[in-house]
Amino acid sequence: LKPLLASSFESEETLPGKRCCTSKVRGAATMGKFRLLDLVKPCMCVLPEVSTPDRRIPFREKILWTGISLFVFLVCCQIPLYGISANKSTDPFYWMRVILASNRGTLMELGISPIVTSGMVMQLLAGSKLLEVDQSVKEDRMLFQGAQKLFGMVITLGEAMAYVLSGMYGPVKDLGAGNAILIILQLFCAGVIVLILDELLQKGYGLGSGISLFIATNICETICWKAFSPTTMNTGKGPEFEGAVIALFHLLISRSDKFTALKEAFYRQTAPNITSLFATVLVFFFVIYFQGFRVDLAVKNQRVRGQMGSYPIKLFYTSNMPIILQTALVSNLYFFSKLLYRRWSGNFLVQLMGVWEGPEGREEAVSGLAYYVSPPRRLSDMFTFHFMVYLAFMLATCALFSKTWIEVSGNGPREVAAQLKEQHMVMPGHRRSSLEKTLKHYIPVAAAFGGMCIGALTVFADLLGAIGSGTGILLAVTIIYGYIERFQKARQQGEFNLFNM
C-alpha cells in the first residue's frame, strides 16, 4: 500500500516499453485542451520542492533522516508563537490535537490539518473526474503534485488567517495589525516546514510519510504523559498526580483506606485513571490481532516454471487512511461550526450545524450535526439515539473513504491486475484476462469491510474511555505496526541489524 499522500510526492520513474509510448500519445492528445490543472504551471517554478534522490538511500541513512525530521517537528511543537499574550481563548481542536499532531500556542498550532485536507480534496477531485489528470503521464503527475502542494499552502494561509481573525489569540484590535500579520506568517512558515518534511520522507530519504510519523509520535507522547505525568493538581481532596500510574502508588501510600484509594485510582473522573489505561492496552491488542487477518491469493510466474507466490489482501487493506480522512472531515466541520456559532449563534442554519456550550476553551457540541458526529464518552450511552447516529456515521464514512481511496490511490483491482500482468504473474486456474474480475471479488470487499472494522474499533475504544481517543489509538497502532514491518523486511534483506549498528 502507498502511505498517506504517497501519490502526491512519489519519486519519478521511467515507464518502460509500450506504457511509455501510450503516455506520450495521451500527453499529446491532452496538450490542445485547456484543463484546470494547467493553471498550476506558472507556480511550479516558485513552489518549494525536495529533489528526488539520485542514488539508493541506505536503510541506516533513512533512519537518520527520519530522526532529523522528527526532531525538527518536536522542536517546532515547543516554540511558542511570538506576539500572543495568553491562550485563554477558545480552542476548537482541544480534544483532536492528538490526532492532528498539533500543539496549542506553538508553531505547530495547525499541525497536519492543512496537508491532510488538501490531499483529501485533491484525491477526491481526481477520483470523481472533476479534475482531469492522467497519472501515467509524467507532466500530469508533476502538475498534480504541484497543485496539491499549492492547495496545501493556500489552506495553511487560510486557516492561519481564520485562527487570528476569529479571536483564537484574543481580539485583533488588542493584538494589533503588526502582531496579527506576524502570527499569520509564523503559522504559514511552520505549515510549509511540515509539508517539506513530509515530502522529504516521501521522496525516499526516510521511512514512510512524515504525516504518519508525526501522528504516531504525538499520540504516544500523550499516552505516556497521561500514564506517568509527575505534575500535581488540587481536586479538593488534596494534591494528586496527573499520571494514572504515579497516582495509583501515591494514593496507596498516602491514604489510610486502601480500598477507597484503589477505587479512586481506577475510577477517578478528574484525571486519567487506571481503567482508561487498561482500556488503551486492550484496544492496542485488539488492533494488532486484526492486523493479522488477510487472504493470500496464489499466483505463479508464466515464464519461470515452478515459481509460486502469493498476493496478500489484508483486512485493513487501506491501512489507516479511512480514519485519517474521517478525522480531517470532522475536524473541519467542528472548526467552522464553532467559528460560525460564535458569530451568529441565533441563526437557524448555524444551530443546525452545531450548538456549543461549556466553559471557555472547553466547549462541547450539545445539539446539531456536530453533536451527532461527536463520540459518546460512556458505556451508558450505548443505547441512545446519539450513539446510533454516531455509529452509523463512523461505519458509513470509513467504508466509503476506504473504498474511494483504493480507486484514487492506484490500489484498485484494475491497477493491481496491471501490476501482476507486468510481472507475468497469473492465478492458477484462472485465465490471464479474468485476473481483474477475480480481484474485484476480494479488494473492494476487503476495503469496505476493513473500513467498517476500523470505524467499529474506534467507537469501541471511545466507549471504553481509552486514553488519546479511539481514533488516536487506532492510528498509532497501525502506523507503528507499519514501521515494525519495514524494520523486519530490512532485517530479512540484510540492510539492518540491531546488534551491528
Identify the pLDDT of residue 93: 61
Q: What is the pLDDT along the chain (501 residues), one digit of tens a residue?
A: 333 333 333 333 333 333 344 444 344 444 446 677 777 788 878 888 888 888 888 888 888 999 999 999 889 888 888 888 655 555 556 666 777 788 888 888 888 888 888 877 887 777 667 777 776 677 777 888 888 888 889 999 998 888 888 777 777 888 888 888 999 999 999 999 998 998 888 888 888 788 888 888 888 888 888 888 888 877 777 778 888 888 888 888 888 888 888 888 888 877 888 888 888 888 888 888 887 788 777 777 777 776 777 777 887 777 777 877 787 788 778 878 887 887 787 788 888 888 887 766 567 788 888 888 888 767 677 778 888 888 899 888 888 888 877 776 667 788 788 877 777 777 776 676 777 788 888 888 888 888 888 888 888 887 877 777 777 777 788 788 888 888 888 887 776 664 454
Residue listed under C-alpha cell 508525526: 214
Identify the pLDDT of residue 220: 85
Identify the pLDDT of residue 407: 73
Pairing state between β 294-301 and 308-314: antiparallel
Identify the pLDDT of residue 23: 42
What is the rounded CA–CA span in Å between residue 450 and residue 161?
A: 38
What is the rounded CA–CA span in Å between residue 9 and residue 287?
A: 28
Three-state SS string across 233-297, please? EECCCCEEECCHHHHHHHHHHHCCCHHHHHHHHHHCCCCCCHHHHHHHHHHHHHHHHHHCCEEEE
- b/e 427-453 (16+ beta carbons within 10 angstroms → b): beeeeeeebbebbeebbbebbbbbbbb
Does residue 309 come out as left (phi exceeding 0), alpha (psi in the -120 to 50 range) or beta? beta
Residues whose CB is less than 8 angstroms from the CB of residue 238 and which lie 6 or more positions away in sequence, other chains included: 254
394 neighbors 374 (Cβ within 8 angstroms): no
Residues forming a β-bridge with 355: 367
Residues whose CB is less than 8 angstroms from the CB of residue 74 and which lie 6 or more positions away in sequence, other chains included: 217
Using CA atoms of 292, 297, 298, 303 in order, give the dihedral in degrees to the nearest 10: -120
What is the rounded CA–CA span in Å between residue 225 and residue 243?
A: 7
Q: Measure Cα distances from 203 to 16, 206, 358, 393, 450 in Å.
A: 21, 8, 45, 35, 28
End-to-end CA distance of the chain: 29
81 neighbors 187 (Cβ within 8 angstroms): yes
Question: How crowded is residue 252: how many other Cβ atoms within 10 Å of its Cβ?
Answer: 12
- Nearest Cα neighbor of 324 from 101, 91, 8 is 101
Q: Which three cell numbers stand for residue 249?
A: 502508588
Using CA atoms of 9, 12, 18, 21 in order, give the dihedral in degrees to the nearest 10: 100
Could you give the count of Cα atoms lying within 13 Å of 14 in the half-sphere of its Cβ?
A: 2
CA torsion through residues 31, 32, 36, 41, sign: positive
Q: Which three cell numbers stand for residue 147?
A: 497543485
For 128, counting Cβ atoms within 10 Å of its Cβ (0-12 exposed, 13-18 middle, 19+ buried), the class is exposed
Q: Which three cell numbers stand for residue 261?
A: 484509594
Identify the pLDDT of residue 440: 82
Identify the pLDDT of residue 25: 39
Rg (CA), the chain: 25
Residue 161 three-state SS: helix
What is the rounded CA–CA span in Å between residue 452 and residue 444?
A: 12
- Scanning 409-498, the segments in alpha helix (DSSP H) are 413-422, 435-440, 443-464, 470-492
Identify the pLDDT of residue 140: 77
Identify the pLDDT of residue 176: 82
